[in-house]
Amino acid sequence: MSSSDDIEALIEMMARLPGLGPRSARRAVLQMIRKKELMLIPLADLMHHVGASVRDCVECGNIGSSAICDICANEKRATGEICVVEDVADLWALERSGVFRGRYHVLGGTLSALDAVGPDELRIPKLIQRVQDEAVSEVILALNATVDGQTTAHYIADQLEGRVRLTSLAQGVPIGGELDYLDDGTITAALRARKDL
């Protein structure tokens, strides 16, 4: 393989990343090559290190460099609350807010009859086991407001009914949102979840 073939292969690989198309990938690769000592070589070394050390947390499904992630290992996070999310990106989004101080459970996706994804393909049995084994007082279902997300939430609620308090994230009009710019589903959810003033 020639060096130009290697560069093209790198561009093609980068273009597979979410948010990067072929043009963005080409610009990123050219920038890294121009600053090879500052960007390309350290990035390659870091990617190799992360690739060798990253693993799923055996408790919650988060990712980290040890068998138990930092959140599960933190005794201060043992509040009895478990927030259920579809994937690690959702966990990170909730962590950025700094509001939730309990522990998480990453399902690894949602139930989908079309894609043949059932409860055993997800981490739903592990969630049920955690509720039985740990001192869990509340399970917060923080799943996306999609058909598959809501189907998954209903399935989990059925499995855990009567065992633990079940809650879900509020849905509806975001702070600073204008009604004219919202889709019909968001407006419907906001009307159904209205509260007294």
- Which of the residues in the chain have pLDDT under 50? none
Structure tokens at 2: 């020639």
Q: What is the pLDDT of residue 2?
A: 62
171-to-89, 102, 105, 119, 191 alpha-carbon distances in Å: 19, 21, 20, 25, 10
Angle, CA of 169, 19 and 37, to the nearest 5°: 120
What is the C-alpha to C-alpha distance for residues 143 and 42, in angstroms, rounded to an integer? 36
User: Across the strands, what pairs with 56?
Assistant: 63
Instruction: Specify the pLDDT at position 197.
Output: 60
Give the span between the Cα atoms of 125 and 160, in whole angstroms. Answer: 11
Q: What pTM was estimated for this model as a whole? A: 0.83
- What percentage of the chain has pLDDT greater than the value 90? 78
**Backbone Cα Rg of the chain:** 21
**What gap in Å lies between CA 161 and CA 93, rounded to an integer?**
27
The pLDDT value given to residue 178: 78
| pLDDT value, residue 1 | 56
